[in-house]
Structure 1
Amino acid sequence: MSAIKFNLFSLSGKMKVLHMSWMAFLISFIVWFNHAPLMLMIQQEIGLSAQEINIILLLNVALTIPARLLVGVLVDRYGARISYSVLLALCSLPCFMFALADSFAQLAWARFLLGGIGAGFVIGIRIIGDWFPSRQMGTAEGIYAGWGNCGSAVAAMLLPGAALYFGDENGWRYAIALTGLLSLCFAAIYYCNVKNLPDCAHCLRRGPTTILEVSSIRDLFLYILAIVPLYGALSLLVWKLSRPEMALLSGYWILVINLLIWSVFFYHAYKVIDLNAERLSQPVAIVHRYQVSQVLVLGLLYLVTFGSKLAVVSMLPIFFYQTFNASQQVTLVEAGMLAACFVLLNLIARPAGGWVSDRFGRKPTLYVYCAGLTISYVLMAQISPQWPIALAVSVTLICSIFLQGAEGAVFAVVPLVKRSMTGQIAGVVGAYGNAGAIFFLVALTFVPASVFFLILALCCLLSLTTILFLNEPKSVITEIMPDGSLAVIELD
């Protein structure tokens, strides 16, 4: 893999893969959050209550947790070309279901299934890790994730206008269906234009494993401990949906679903032990070793950063509308535009976080961004109807810069933990982000927006301590190739 040039305007080789992948992720995010800017229109037509809206927001991030774990395995086994194409095509179906829904139950089921499209993030992390050298890794991953994450901003900016253009009470349906059609078409485009791996001797081939390999008995139990919060987030969601104010699930279904969740957990833990038993029966070669603690640290950091971002993106259009509608006559479309500012800076801020991490070190970059994010959330908690809109937007933009930069810094490290298992590691770390979204969205149902932002600030402050346990990647990584030869990958 050539590390000589990073020509962003090239449409061949690794840059073509980068551009096709961020566009796939952009479309994934448009589909994933196509409901947020249209929620008030949907509420008025279907007759949804405030609690039913909260349920839909929660369901939108629920399936992404197991989906990211599963897709992480599949992309390591089958490659990004097939994985992304199939995911985009399959998830267009619940998008059409959502557009055709006539009741809360139909909306809820479609939204739950649409959460699976968030797993597309993991696929791009794997293919970018395979095509780009380590000295460009943070920048490339930042561009992929940063530009792709702007899909929620694109949805917030364009879909309300599209719904008004289509007109009448079904305008939002046509706007949602249009995003599903876009996803279906791009599935074919991605399949026809992307290769899984570059033609070079040092490229890492996909491994045959179906579960994350570990390097020691200690790491085995640490990994099992690390996946507990992911299943715990799903149980928390079940509990919240069974509360009297929501009452979506009865006592029977609470028991059945929780039994299913934890049965999957115990099966997952059993497979981890079973598939690593022979591997750990003798000392693991140095070239195969890595620390699961690093995966856990990155997961916790992503829980706070990406988890809080998903929660804020989900509530920000309604927050701006409710805060400034009465005092400054902000309309629904204008509220969506204001909320889009929070994500739009992904175009620059997340790639910048990866670039800074590449140049100045992984840990120092994370310290700076997480500290800045803590202060930013404290400032957002102070926003009130009396604030000038320009000031509220400015604070939102500052918060966005630190938030997206922190995400970019996290995933500047992820592909360097263990290259041959990047998909699975990214799946675990990405799933932590969605678990965080569930934790924060559940918290939002209990507290006003100002307190919610303070909770986010406290979590960011606590995340600073986890960075202490993160190790800077070594100067080189050695990987074993399928033919038994060794590939030494430079990080400088």
Structure 2
Amino acid sequence: MATQQDVAHGSRYNAYMALFMATVAMIVCFMSWSNFAPLSAQVATMFHLSVGQKTLLLATPVLLGSIMRIPVGILSDKYGGKKVYIILMVFILIPLFMITKVHTFGMLLVAALLVGMAGTSFAVGVSYASVWFPPEQQGFALGIVAMGNMGNAVAALTLPKISASYGFTAVYHFLMVLTVILIILFAIFCKEMPTNKEKTISGALSVAKESSTWYLSLFYFLTFGLFVSFTNLTPVFLGDIFGVNAVTAGLYSALFAALCTLIRPVGGSAADHLRPMSMLQWVFILIAIFSAVIMLSFKSQAIFIIGIVGTGLAAGWGNGVIFKMVPYVSKGNTGAVTGFVGAVGGLGGFFPPLVVGWIKGWTGSYEIGIALLIITALICWYVLRRRFIKGDVHIVQ
């Protein structure tokens, strides 16, 4: 059986095809994962939702997509990313079809929960793409595959226009067609990664014993959670506070998601050459600063956009830096570590919309929710500085 080192120095075609297809498939999956955010105003009207119900709907897909990253990442390591990716995309077709048929909020939540499986594509993509590249190139390679997060931006740009032109159900027919196309292309053009059939679930779960797994999870809770939360909440903020229409709000949401995604491989590439933890402390400081700008900007749309842009750039850079370190935590268990780190990061996208919606309903203010983000950034900065900057722990030398 081929080893990871053999693969890393093997067929360049297989490596770059794996990287390309894993990225494109993740884009399509993330479009499904984030489908409700750009359509939130329309869905709220159709189902007569309160602010709390709307934020619950936005958060629900994130829940399953986060928790299930752990087992899906382990399965990808054990049985192969190609197989798992194809099975995952076939499954996603079910809730996409369900959404076109539901008529109650309860059933819509069930469909939203199931479509959350699309978020596990991240764990599969990282596991599948990473084995084709040597360690010194993995920061850049994983930054590229993680650009599949761009699916959030693509959804924000396209889905409101499709809904406005062809109707609500046309959105989900469009997503189903894209998913079927990717299933076929993945089956034809991608080669399965080498796997270790003797690997056990308990062995993969051993990564939970590594303290570095949990530190990276905490940091990713902030950076990736911020990406998911703000991609979903930006249209809500712009619509509720500034009265921006759904299509324009979707464009701003796409801007945020695009900045977060495009800067990610730059952060990963920089982490190939510089000490990652040293860069992360500045990421957390910048997130705190730009979050403060957002908190103070709810009377000025222009300042709000500046805060969103700055936060997106800082969070995206941080995402790239963090995932440079993932393959070093436990050799041969990249999918498992990705699952844990990605799961906690996804939960960072699950809770904030709920908390923000609850605080808004209780106090009538969004500012308190943003203040909690600043506190979280400062906690991450303190932990990072104490453990990795002043301490003697080094994930990557």
Considering the TM-score relative to the shorter chain, is it more than 0.5?
yes
Q: Which among 255, 263, 281 is matched to residue 367 of structure 1?
A: 281
Residue 288 of structure 1 corresponds to: none
Q: Which runs of 5+ in 2 are unaligned?
A: 360-364
Answering whether residue 31 of structure 2 is matched by residue 30 of structure 1, we say yes
Distance 1:398 1:211, change over 3 A: same
| CA deviation vs aligned residue, 1:219-277 (integer Å, no higher than 9, x gap) | 9xxx4xxxxxxxxxxxxxxxxxxxxxxxxxxxxxxxxxxxxxxxxxxxxxxxxxxxxxx
What amino acid does structure 2 have at the position aligned with 1:465? Y
Query: Cα–Cα, structure 1 residues 212 and 451, in superposed 2: closer, same or farther, change >3 Å?
Result: farther
1:446 counterpart residue number: 358
Whether the aligned pair in 1 keeps the contact of 2:150 and 2:257 (CA below 8 Å) is yes
CA offsets per residue over residues 298-326 of structure 1, 9 Å max, x none?
1111111112222222211111112221x
* TM-score normalised by structure 2 residue count: 0.90
Identify unmatched segments of 5+ residues in structure 1.
Answer: 199-203, 224-290, 476-492
Secondary structure of the residue aligned to 1:150 is helix
The within-5 A match list for 1:75-224 is 75-145=76-146, 147-166=147-166, 171-197=167-193, 205=196, 207-213=198-204, 223=208
Equivalent position SS for 1:37: coil
Q: CA deviation at 1:212?
A: 4.0
Cα distance, 1:206 vs. partner? 5.7
Give the one of 276, 299, 318 matched to 2:217.
299
Match of 1:394 in 2: 306
- CA RMSD of superposed structures (Å): 2.3
Structure 2 CA distance for partners of 1:206 and 1:454, relative to 1, 3 Å: farther
Alpha-carbon distance in 1 for matches of 2:185, 2:7: 27
**What is the total number of aligned residue pairs between the two structures?**
382
Report 1:219-298 matches (<5 A).
Answer: 223=208, 292-298=210-216
CA–CA distance in 1 between the matches of 2:103 and 2:286? 44
Q: Tell me, in whole angstroms, the C-alpha distance in 2 between the residues paired with 1:213 and 1:371.
A: 34
Single out whichever of 107-116 and 49-58 deviates more from structure 2. Answer: 49-58
1:120 Cα shift?
A: 0.8
Counterpart AA for 2:128: I
Alpha-carbon distance between aligned partners in 2 of 1:48 and 1:347, rounded to the nearest angstrom: 30
Give the superposition deviation at 1:4: 11
In 2, Cα distance between equivalents of 1:435 and 1:293: 19
Contact 1:84 / 1:123 at 8 angstroms: preserved in 2? yes
SS of alignment partner, residue 100 of structure 1: coil
Partners of 2:75 and 2:8 in 1: CA distance = 31
- Per-residue CA deviation, residues 353-400 of structure 1 (Å, 9 max, x unaligned), is 101111111211211212211111111112223x253x4323211111
Letter in 1 for 2:199: P
Q: For 1:87 and 1:23, how far apart are their aligned partners in 2?
A: 14
Give 1:446 deviation, angstroms: 2.8
2:394 matched to 1:472?
yes
Using structure 1 for the length normalisation, give the TM-score: 0.73
Q: Deviations over 1:397-427 (max 9, x none)?
A: 1111100111111111001112311111111
- CA apart distance, 1:456: 0.8
Which of 462, 465, 468 is the matching residue for 2:379? 462
- The letter of the residue matching 2:380 is S
Q: Structure 2: how far apart are the matches of 1:458 and 1:134?
A: 34
Following superposition, the deviation at residue 211 of structure 1 comes to: 2.7
**More helix per residue: 1 or 2?**
2
- Corresponding residue SS for 2:358: coil
- For 2:362, the equivalent position in structure 1 comes to none
Largest Rg, 1 or 2:
1
Q: 2:297 aligns with which of 362, 379, 383?
A: 383
Q: Does the Cα contact within 8 Å between 2:280 and 2:321 map onto a contact in 1?
A: yes
Deviations 1:183-222 (A, max 9, x none): 1321221122212337xxxxx746521134577xxx9xxx
Paired residues of 1:212 and 1:424 also in contact (CA < 8 A): no
Equivalent residues of 1:76, 1:207 under 8 A apart: no
Q: Give, in whole Å, the separation in 1 of the partners of 2:396 and 2:378.
A: 27
Task: Report how far residue 2 of structure 1 moved.
Answer: 9.1
CA distance in structure 1 between the partners assigned to 2:6 and 2:279 by the alignment: 26
What are the superposed Cα offsets for residues 148-191 of structure 1, whole Å, 9 maximum, x if unpaired?
Answer: 1111111111111111111xxxx122112311221132122112
Q: Deviations over 1:428-464 (max 9, x none)?
A: 1111112222332332123232221221111011001
What SS does the corresponding residue of 2:100 show, helix, strand or coil?
helix
Q: 2:81·2:128 contact (CA, 8 Å) conserved in 1?
A: yes
1: CA distance, partners of 2:179 / 2:341? 25
Secondary structure of 1:412's counterpart equals: helix
Q: Percent of aligned positions with the same letter in both sequences?
A: 26
Contact 1:297 / 1:469 at 8 angstroms: preserved in 2?
Answer: no
